[in-house]
A and B are shown apart, each in its own frame.
Chain A
Amino acid sequence: MAADLGELKAMIESALPGSTAAVIDETGTGDHLRAEVKAPQFEGLTRIDQHRLVKAAVRERFDDGTIHALTIKILG
């Protein structure tokens, strides 16, 4: 099942209130995605903790096999 980019964007933005997310299908196959996220919650966190927040927001789609790879870009 291909990932629903709009759903992923909504999952990130609802997990991180006030954030804006863009989810892009990098390979056109629907399972290797890139998320560019800007969120007030990132303030003061290490890079790894920022990534953990984004991954946690979409973990369900990793666990069910919808996504295999997600490149995360934190926008400052």
Chain B
Amino acid sequence: MADQELTERVQELISENPVLLFMKGTPTAPRCGFSMRTVQVLDQMGVEYGAIDVLPALQPLREVTSEISDWETFPQLYVNGDLLGGADIVEEMFTNGELAESLGVEQPARQEAEAEPAAAGDSPYQSPPMKIEGS
């Protein structure tokens, strides 16, 4: 059974942030390839998003998201209160345009293959990472 206080905190964060990513590490220093891929997609979408590093409280957060979203792996991207998916789903929805639709933005122009990817830290849209303390 998930910790009640942490569950409430997570639900608050999900309802307060229209676009919220639970990830391993931070957008500027992802600690897992799947989290990094999700950040790379979000950074191309030009939306402001909140990011929460789950590593300090990995197991309690797994229990919480398992209960509220029936999903226990990270990353998890929430849009307008609903879990959209993890890295695979986010990438697939990015490719087929459904992600832009969910976020209410224009599909970004396809990046030139030779273009240098922007460093995550340079993104003007990104909110500072939020911390959640383990209990």
Contact = CB atoms under 8 A, between A and B. Distances in A.
A52 B85 CA distance: 10
A47 B82 CA distance: 12
A47 B87 CA distance: 12
A52 B88 contact: no
A65 B84 CA distance: 26
B115 to A, nearest CB: 28
B106 interface: no
Contacts, number: 17
Interface of B: 70-71, 83-85, 88-89, 92-93, 98
A43 to B, nearest CB: 16
A48 B88 contact: no
Contacts of A72: 88
Nearest to A74: B92
Contacts of A52: 70-71
Interface string A43-56: 00001100110000
Contacts of B84: 47-48
Interface residues of A, number: 6
Per DSSP, chain A at the interface is: helix
Interface of A: 47-48, 51-52, 71-72
Contacts of B83: 48
Nearest to A72: B88
A47 B70 contact: no
Contact of A71 (B88, B93, B98): B88
A47 B89 CA distance: 7
Contacts of B89: 47-48, 51
Contacts of A71: 88
A68 B116 CA distance: 34
In the complex, the 4 A-B pairs of residues with the closest C-beta atoms, listed nearest first: A47-B89, A48-B85, A48-B83, A47-B85
Contacts of B85: 47-48, 51
Nearest to B69: A48
